[in-house]
Structure 1
């Protein structure tokens, strides 16, 4: 758990500025990063609760049952020329700097109501609590700390949704994950790993990239159809998320071996639609571009993004884990695609004990997804995810 700061001290400092803005995070220690983030959010929650009556009109105009969150730097005070917005922008920058994503997004911090069912009572005058995610692995959380508009501390149950309105100081997890995956991809490329980043909205770009990497100078008539595998249905049994964490933000790590050299192939896939457990999703998302992989086989690890991740450091861990396995195998062709499972297992070994605190939760994994092979309602190795995969051949443009 994070170190507790005296409420009077934190409140006093946040009234004139956030206490952590002057510090630059220069450590990759996971616990330090997690503590730093929790303290940033704690300071913001205290400041917002103390100034709630000054901010109430602005917050209520932006948060509704259909729009449960608003960017923190869009909240205005009743006082003209207030320094509040600048403080929020500084807090946002500090958070992005801590996570190593300042190059990839201009803002991520937000204020959201914990559940749509709370909006009515809040809009009708019930005072809210202001909460934030504690530090550390959520399985070790004893309670969620929150503050009322008078600065009093409340201890909320970790998994039971509160019966009073709660405004959560958090990052926009979708924007953070998108930026984090870009940071991971950039770091992998710096390390010599030609990683692809696949999102649900850039399939066409990925197709062109995959084709051009194979036959850059070929005529259209010479280009072969592109073999891919789509995810057509998926259901998550447990997203590992306490109520304060909001929607799940899931991504996939695709592991394989480069077709032209004995090097690992690691691709990242953003899955922004997979918000809640216990629900079927039908994304028809292209997950695998087969020209990138030897033996027509890959593994897939499904992860859920949480606080405490240093994305650049995670990229280093993934690359090193995969490279270490291949260095131990003198002739990979003898073992064939069995090597891929060794790479996957090595990655799973290092992720929980690596640089992550309240680490990206491991959800499930799929071993040996084969090219040109459909899988219907296939459970993951851990039984937490059930998914359907469909081979799809994309023909060249006429």
Structure 2
């Protein structure tokens, strides 16, 4: 069992040992090898936490509560900064951030998370926890979840049935990862000649969009035409218990109005945590000056553990540009081209760069400018959303 682990750890060290970005991008590691190396890091930490639980029990019990089920690795390091375990935690966090292509965009990533609030009472009353980690590969192929007890013994847990004992998960902070990952994707797309917008919940609120327009307004500043996501609901967020809350984001795809290039914008949706629940974000998701023919598609994605964000950005740009290169005159087909771009992106999602890759959740095809969609189902029937047109005027 430990032999594959050692190989994966060596792969991690080989990658992180290359200092420059150029060197790191040419290590030759496949997406699967990178994902395996990430899992190896987490496996090592799960085993180390099980062996050092007594040293961290007090810190965990003072920090973990019903309102806060997780603690960052950086906080654990602060509690005992000079120990060998803290050195291991620092190294693992750095390695994982590098493997995922987000090291430049966040200074910490890993956390220790109680798998479910229902486990809190028994753990606080003294029941010893298990320490688990997400397996490698697509979660559809997982046979069990491995977890270490405080004696170093491995237990095999059901993938979908929540355990009846307390379990701590060595995990990425999914909100931190997605925020940094989208920043990494935008930077890589810009390097490849794209000009993507990254819309966060804060920057894409109606109020923020109005303030931004007003700051740059002159006497002849034109209003901007947008589409706002008023309501959204997911039927299935596709997550096993060990994965915790879903982290959903969107890709808005279309064609640049001024050149024969794809437009791909990134939408962070941090509020969309759970399925079978209505959310009312009031979030601007499409700026129509960026899309030819007043048409765009929106792909909903679920961030998972195996994503290399730089490689994902490269793949998205590559497949979108390849579609347009095959069409001599885009105006002949018009906005029908957009579905071809979106289709190729969806096909590319499980190929090559993603392992337990970002799950394709659903897609809204052919959203049109100045059009309202009420309780509009996605093509897969997994998401339902209400979109409204909104013209934003600069304030006087």
TM-score where L is the length of structure 2: 0.92
Cα separation, 2, equivalents of 1:354 and 1:82: 39
Secondary structure of the residue that 2:387 maps to in structure 1? Answer: strand
Structure 1 contact 55–77 (Cα < 8 Å) conserved:
no
Structure 2 contact 210–394 (Cα < 8 Å) conserved:
no
Structure 1 contact 145–153 (Cα < 8 Å) conserved:
yes
Cα separation, 2, equivalents of 1:27 and 1:107: 25
Of the three residues 281, 284, 307, the one matched with 2:282 is 284
Cα separation, 1, equivalents of 2:360 and 2:152: 36
Cα separation, 2, equivalents of 1:109 and 1:235: 29
1:39 maps to 40
2:19 maps to none
1:125-164 map, 5 Å: 125-164=126-165
2:54 maps to 53
> Structure 2: 5+ residue runs without aligned partners?
17-26
72-81 vs 367-376, which deviates more? 72-81
Is residue 238 of structure 2 the alignment partner of residue 240 of structure 1? yes
1:327-338 map, 5 Å: 327-338=325-336
Cα separation, 2, equivalents of 1:350 and 1:21: 25
> Structure 1: 5+ residue runs without aligned partners?
11-17
Change in 2 beyond 3 A, CA 1:169/1:71: same
2:316 maps to 318
Change in 2 beyond 3 A, CA 1:65/1:331: same
Change in 2 beyond 3 A, CA 1:79/1:319: closer
329-338 vs 348-357, which deviates more? 348-357
1:385 maps to 383
Q: How much has 1:73 moved relative to structure 2?
A: 2.3
Cα separation, 2, equivalents of 1:220 and 1:275: 40
Q: How much has 1:351 moved relative to structure 2?
A: 1.4
Of the three residues 203, 214, 228, the one matched with 1:230 is 228
Cα separation, 1, equivalents of 2:282 and 2:85: 44
Cα separation, 1, equivalents of 2:311 and 2:229: 28
Is residue 295 of structure 2 the alignment partner of residue 304 of structure 1? no
Secondary structure of the residue that 1:276 maps to in structure 2? Answer: coil
Q: How much has 1:82 moved relative to structure 2?
A: 2.2
1:159-308 map, 5 Å: 159-203=160-204, 220-308=218-306
1:255-280 per-residue CA deviation (whole Å, 9 max, x = no partner) reads 01111111110000000000111111
Secondary structure of the residue that 1:278 maps to in structure 2? Answer: coil
Structure 2 contact 149–155 (Cα < 8 Å) conserved:
yes
Change in 2 beyond 3 A, CA 1:266/1:113: same
TM-score where L is the length of structure 1: 0.91
Q: How much has 1:152 moved relative to structure 2?
A: 0.7
1:186-234 per-residue CA deviation (whole Å, 9 max, x = no partner) reads 000000011110110112666677899xxx8xx6221111111111111
Q: How much has 1:20 moved relative to structure 2?
A: 7.2
Structure 1 contact 174–249 (Cα < 8 Å) conserved:
yes
Q: How much has 1:78 moved relative to structure 2?
A: 8.3
1:13 maps to none
Secondary structure of the residue that 2:219 maps to in structure 1? Answer: helix
Cα separation, 2, equivalents of 1:41 and 1:207: 44
Cα separation, 2, equivalents of 1:247 and 1:102: 23
Cα separation, 2, equivalents of 1:222 and 1:177: 38
1:74-153 map, 5 Å: 74-75=75-76, 81-153=82-154
Cα separation, 2, equivalents of 1:309 and 1:230: 28
1:23 maps to 14
Cα separation, 1, equivalents of 2:104 and 2:120: 35
Q: How much has 1:95 moved relative to structure 2?
A: 0.6
1:74-133 per-residue CA deviation (whole Å, 9 max, x = no partner) reads 126987842332321111101101101110000010000000111111011000000000
Change in 2 beyond 3 A, CA 1:323/1:207: farther
1:63 maps to 64
Q: How much has 1:21 moved relative to structure 2?
A: 6.6
